[in-house]
Copies of this chain bind each other. A is one copy, B any other.
Amino acid sequence: MHSSSASSTATTAVSEVDTTNTNKEEYKQCDAFFKEIPPHADYDESISRVQRFIENAGAYQRIVLVTSGGTLVPLEKLMVRFIDNFSTGSRGAASTEYFLAAGYKVIFLHRGKSIQPFTRSIPPPLESLEVSVGPCCLGGGVRVKSSDSVKVRKVLEKYSKHKDSILYISFESLGDYLWYLKGISSELNKRVGYRAVIYLAAAVSDFYVPKSEMPEHKIQSDVKPTINLALTPKMIFPLATLWAPKTYIVSFKLETDSGILMEKAEKALKTYQHNMVAANLLTTRKTTVTFVERTGKVARIDNPEEDKDIESLMIGFLQDRHTAYIQTNPSS
């Protein structure tokens, strides 16, 4: 049996590092990436939607950018094949619902076809829908079976309450995602400042195929290919130091090897200078998440009930930490 809710606060030293030398190189790598890979055709229109959403939210409103799902990396220019990862978007979709319930407005930057907030709890239509019968159902409508209707009704009511507080923006590729991350986080930094959270639940590819190594057409199947990957520039560092330094930034570390997880979480905070890492293991990510803060605080969240969302506990904890962050930055 797990202990319930947030617990076991410990302190590890996450010291400041001198970043004056690394600055220029990290920024240059990002600039080079953005020069090589152009934004999506919808980029300008999407950023305009973000600006209107922030404006309509009004002053004093907290806003979170939730990134969700995996980024794909094309292997060909006219894309047929790509490298992807197993991320379903479950974490981001569930977290979005709890951020909304906590009073945040949410920019939901998600992989197309990934799991969606609210929709995730609605049973498949062929199992749950039936043609209406009986004297009061004129014209033969279609309804949700009574065994599912209470559950579906609750979801629809929650969605109806929050639907104006969520802005959906979708991406497919690593390039589209990174352009949106830069553009949206810059808007949040400028217009929302310390009241903004950036919650990086998307699983971003660590590698990509440079345009120079990409064939125009589908790789033919009679040659045995070798794929030379380039490293994706580490965008959290420019995010935290250049694009959105005022915002409260939470990144995720997912590993399969428990031996290196905490070490990697602490190293990420040192290297990227952001606010918090949520560390989890592939096999236990639905029952345990460990939050490591820049301040050195470590808090482990255990989910006592497997049929409940651990994100409910996670967002409650984060909301408190974000409140403390706003209070220490009173100019916001």
Contacts and interface: CB of A to CB of B under 8 A. Distances in A.
A230 B224 contact: yes
A1 interface: no
Contacts of A205: 81
Contacts of A229: 224-227
A126 interface: yes
Range class of the A interface residue count: 35 or more
8 contacts: A122-B125, A125-B152, A130-B156, A136-B136, A141-B143, A143-B143, A217-B255, A227-B229
Interface string A175-215: 00000000000000000000000000000011100000000
Interface string A130-143: 11100011011111
A158 to B, nearest CB: 11
A6 interface: no
Interface in A25-49: none
A-B pairs, top 8 by smallest CB distance, nearest first, are: A136-B136, A206-B221, A142-B144, A143-B143, A227-B227, A78-B256, A122-B125, A217-B257
A149 interface: yes
A83 B75 contact: yes
B80 A82 contact: no
A124 to B, nearest CB: 7
B124 A119 contact: yes
A118 interface: yes
A308 interface: no
Contact of A80 (B85, B146, B207, B219): B85
Contacts of A140: 149, 153
Contact of A152 (B85, B119, B142, B227): B142
Interface string A85-116: 11000000000000000000000000000000
